[in-house]
Structure 1
Amino acid sequence: MQALLNAIATMPLPQDAQRIFHGRGGLYPGCEQWALDAFPPVWVLTSFQPVSEDDLATLHHALSTRWQQLSPDQPLNWVFQCRHASQTETRLMAGSVPEPHVVNEDGARYRVHVLKGQNHGLFLDMAEGRRWVRAHVQARARLKVLNLFAYTCAFSVVAMQAGARHVVNVDMSQGAMTIGQQNHQLNGVMAGASFLVHDIFKTWGKITRSGPYDLIIVDPPSYQKGSFIATKDYAKLMRRLPELLAPEGQALLCLNAPELDVAFLHEQMQTLAPELVLQERVANPAVFADVSPERALKVLVYQGPGLPKPDGHLPNP
């Protein structure tokens, strides 16, 4: 636990939501179970193994000591969450959590909920993916975007702020989509955003009729029973991409499954949609560094072909 304590002792006072310590990456032996996140003004400490009350007391002391140095006039607010088969709980350890709880990232505002569920409303490991979308849309402007598995629509908020013409958000969770609409309202970007509460695999007609799209974002859960299982369902999405993409459109494919590597995505793409060409792998935030990049979050950018030449042949990729 010493590496976590060292990180707490030297952590900054963040203004944006971000990860502070990522033991899950395996770079800190003995701390693989720990993650510390800042959702200002709340700290969220997560353990993926059961934790003793003595350890929690030690961590509380460390957080309190550092907080006195960072912001002595403000109360310490922190939440502990344990995610383990034999012990799953969320506890408010000190202070309080705002309601509504709104955090910032790169000038965008998002509602989060750190006292319920394992997903807090904003995936911090996807920060560079959102920055890529912002830069991509700003560079081209007026793009039409399809955001599949939109969750709380953070990608959509960023795209609209960057000048997208229209974003179609699709997710089967009414609760997540409601928060997504609130996120758009928070940022004043409701105009031009659509919200479809549907099972993606049962609503291709509506999705297709709203296309083609200049950018398609695919960020599914790696395994969610009744919704998406990457090993069998990702292929269904890849087959649809060529008909959904506008000429020279981009597809941002995301996969957060440690057991599946980049080749899992790329080999299927080469088989199912070979006309899409791999452009780059978007780097993860530095704090999410992993001993095995193949185990970490994978975010790949593909580009579709351009318009056919007058002779009927497609341009070279």
Structure 2
Amino acid sequence: MKLDFSFLPALKISSNEPQRLFHGRGGLQVGYEFLNLDWLCPVLLVTLYKEQPATWEKALIEALIVAAPSDMGSVVLQRRYQKPAVFETVYGPEVTRFGICEQGLYYQLDFKAGMHSGLFLDMAKARQWVQGHAEKKRVLNLFSYTCAFSVAALAGGADSVVNIDLSRVSLSRGRDSHRLNEHDLSRVTFLGHDIFKSWGKLKRMSPFDLVIIDPPSYQKGSFVLAKDYVRVVKQLTGLLAKHADVLACLNDPDQPPEYLLDLFAENCPNLRFQQRLPNPAAFVDQDEQKSLKVMHFKCIN
């Protein structure tokens, strides 16, 4: 592969907000579909989805160092095609665990706790939506991961938030994020449980005014989209308050928005589709059908 990094001068870091700088996965930059660049101040995160020659990697890092802002502290490289896909600091001080600020809220990131840092940047507008619609609501955050939606909900004035995820490690990071924001943890519940074995418990804690569904597309042993999303939707009626809102997320490029529309129409007809939330501008995709789907439904009784 030729060493052409002509796109680098176009990298614009407008602020210290976490942001996608280069979205190769969107398919609009031919020849670089395997590359994403993220700014997690003071870290520049390089994600490769396909193996490249060592000489190309080295040249890319050198070019990034030249193009990067003066306040960049480190460059971290993740080769997602490897198992495990570890985060490697390739320039500057080693980075493992640190906090970042998005729209005035703080989130705890950790490069040693798994394949993901702890905050999905493509969900930024969804977090803003939750913050703007959570006031005085009881919120249920299904597949909560590191509880970013929970942080947004409490910042937006939610009365309470219930987070449930199979990973207690991820929930612990979520608790840390709440502490970074000096939130009242008495209003937040963290359940390290299998969701599919916890419907009875969740129904006893209901009704909820806002339910967020953000599962992985596939997670061995815990979630398979084709058979498990419908199982979640079928349980919603027993969890929802009158006029409740549901935010349903789908990040499988092989499934169009109609997948969720049909799923809700067939299995929970009292939930009416309201809108598909826009994705951040940096995450533009050559085929929007393949990009992240965040769908808002509302309970019509």
TM-score computed with the length of structure 1 as normaliser: 0.89
Q: Does 1:124 align with 2:125?
A: no
Amino acid at match of 2:233: M
> What's 1:255 paired with?
250
* Residue aligned with 1:191, SS: helix
* Equivalent pair of 2:8/2:67 in contact (CA under 8 Å): no
* Equivalent pair of 2:3/2:59 in contact (CA under 8 Å): no
* Residue aligned with 1:168, SS: strand
Give the 5 Å matches for 1:176-255: 176-189=170-183, 190-255=185-250
Which has the higher mean CA deviation after the structures are superposed, 238-247 or 149-158?
A: 238-247
> Where does structure 2 lack aligned partners over 5 or more consecutive residues?
none
How many Å separate the matches in 2 of 1:4 and 1:147?
A: 41
What CA deviation, in whole Å up to 9, does each residue of 1:174-205 have, x standing for no partner? 10011111111111112311111100000111
> What's 1:146 paired with?
140
Amino acid at match of 1:161: A
Amino acid at match of 1:23: G
* Equivalent pair of 1:134/1:159 in contact (CA under 8 Å): yes
How many Å separate the matches in 2 of 1:236 and 1:212?
A: 19
How many Å separate the matches in 1 of 2:204 and 2:244?
A: 17
* Residue aligned with 2:229, SS: helix
> What's 1:47 paired with?
48
Query: Deviation of residue 236 (structure 1)?
Result: 0.6
Identity %: 38
Which has the higher mean CA deviation after the structures are superposed, 20-29 or 92-101?
A: 92-101
How many Å separate the matches in 2 of 1:8 and 1:41?
A: 19
With over 3 angstroms needed to count, the CA separation of the structure-2 counterparts of 1:85 and 1:200, relative to structure 1, is: same
How many Å separate the matches in 1 of 2:51 and 2:147?
A: 32
With over 3 angstroms needed to count, the CA separation of the structure-2 counterparts of 1:33 and 1:188, relative to structure 1, is: same
Query: Deviation of residue 10 (structure 1)?
Result: 3.4
* Equivalent pair of 1:4/1:21 in contact (CA under 8 Å): no
* Equivalent pair of 2:251/2:293 in contact (CA under 8 Å): yes
How many Å separate the matches in 2 of 1:57 and 1:121?
A: 26
* Equivalent pair of 2:43/2:72 in contact (CA under 8 Å): no
Q: Does 1:105 align with 2:102?
A: yes
TM-score computed with the length of structure 2 as normaliser: 0.94
* Residue aligned with 1:207, SS: helix
Q: Does 1:61 align with 2:62?
A: yes
What CA deviation, in whole Å up to 9, does each residue of 1:90-140 have, x standing for no partner? 321111245541111111111112355321100111111101111112xxx
Aligned length: 299
What CA deviation, in whole Å up to 9, does each residue of 1:286-306 have, x standing for no partner? 101001111111100000024
> What's 1:267 paired with?
262
* Equivalent pair of 1:218/1:254 in contact (CA under 8 Å): yes
Q: CA RMSD in A?
A: 1.9
* Residue aligned with 2:67, SS: helix
Structure of higher CA gyration radius: 1
